[in-house]
Structure 1
């Protein structure tokens, strides 16, 4: 299996590639640094980014491969993914697109890929090596195996403490009717349904706790 990091020469895609590198390292997968030629990106910047990522990959003993494609970006990426055993593709968000243009990330999200897609929104440039705590927000007990596998992979890669933050949405009437015994019973049922993830985290030696919130709005 391979891990792909889409690289466009910007610092945000470089940071996303570092997350891809950590994921590849923890699973022992090779990392593909992929770029699709276009009129907006500088190939010199792309190659410089790839140089930086490859230096870090060498430290983590991760095998890397450079792939530069041409043509329609989505068709080129889909064709490459279909022709290779790809586990997941990492890409970053971009603010360069005009409002009437769709970014590569938006097109990938809407495109049927034969691999998982991880979209990295970079808020701070130093977070890819400063991760100490990780939080996964979910509604009630709605946690898929795929989502937990990605979450656990990064927790293992960064040796981070983890928290699943379960939010239960209720309307105003229901909120006023909730008393302590009823709330405890409701949250206990959620904990029971999430208990297999807690057991799996324990088996993987990942510190995990579950926290709850009852609110009218998940934000």
Structure 2
């Protein structure tokens, strides 16, 4: 049986179809519509998610937020300070190496001058004036004193134990009671130190059972 009713808006009959219990098809359509509505409501837009995050941050304790920001800033400052300190150490190390290298070149030149004076003094003729000889000796002595003040000095050799870091063995002699194996018994060329660095190793003769 079909019923009609009149709409007040358009004053025309509307066919509502037969009245009766809902069919299986009607139930499925209704469930589908509910699922679609639920799915649409469950998906939030990026703007809504951002708004939720802002609301969540606003709900945090202001003191806790301030402490977190201070901790982050402190870590960033510490990282920058560490980076700057590393750069400064590297720069200082490079400057130190450059200065040491330059100082060693100058020291070698002074050592060469000292050795030239020593050779000149040793090669003076026998009839050389005593005043001339004494003058050269005094200049040489003063030069050696100034070098020692600057950290430049000879490497000790004869009577000391052979040190491969400072001495170069150019010959060996059989050991004796007075000079056991490993003892330096003579020097063929002086060696020099600049602080704790070797300018030139001393060339020496060493008591040893093994030939050099």
- The TM-score with structure 1 as length reference comes to 0.18
Q: 1 or 2, which has the higher helix percentage?
A: 2
Q: Which has the larger Rg?
A: 2
